[in-house]
């Protein structure tokens, strides 16, 4: 298992069975209760991560809409302030 983990491979029952030269059924049959609980926890985390990824994609769509609006809200007062400063500066230097 450590070889698989350090190699960057996802640890699956099939890879464990191939490494131990046995069937996946043998792996399941000899798995301890603690390891079964860890397997269930890992499966739940994978499903939670998949849900977060799908939410992340919808958040990106919202951000693509909100970002230009935010720049307009911030940019218009800045442009207004710069134009006022330039107009007053022209009056002073004439």
Listed residue (44, 35, 41) closest to 13, CA to CA: 35
Q: How confident is the model at residue 27 (pLDDT cuts 50, 70, 90)?
A: confident
Alpha-carbon span 23 to 20, nearest angstrom: 9
Structure tokens at 18: 């191939």
Question: Does 76 have pLDDT greater than 90?
Answer: yes
Structure tokens at 17: 């069975």
pLDDT at 2: 60
Highest mean pLDDT, choosing among 17-21, 33-37, 49-53, 58-62: 17-21
Reported pTM: 0.36
- Give 3-state DSSP helix, strand, coil % of the chain, rounded to 5: 85, 0, 15
Alpha-carbon span 85 to 19, nearest angstrom: 74
């Amino acid at each position: 298992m450590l070889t698989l983990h350090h190699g960057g491979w996802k640890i699956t029952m099939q890879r464990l069975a191939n490494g131990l030269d046995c069937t996946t059924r043998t792996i399941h049959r000899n798995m301890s209760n603690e390891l079964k609980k860890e397997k269930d926890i890992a499966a739940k985390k994978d499903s939670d991560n998949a849900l977060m990824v799908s939410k992340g994609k919808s958040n990106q769509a919202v951000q693509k809409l909100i970002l230009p609006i935010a720049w307009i809200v911030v940019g218009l007062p800045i442009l207004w302030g710069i134009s006022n400063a330039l107009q007053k500066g022209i009056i002073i230097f004439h």
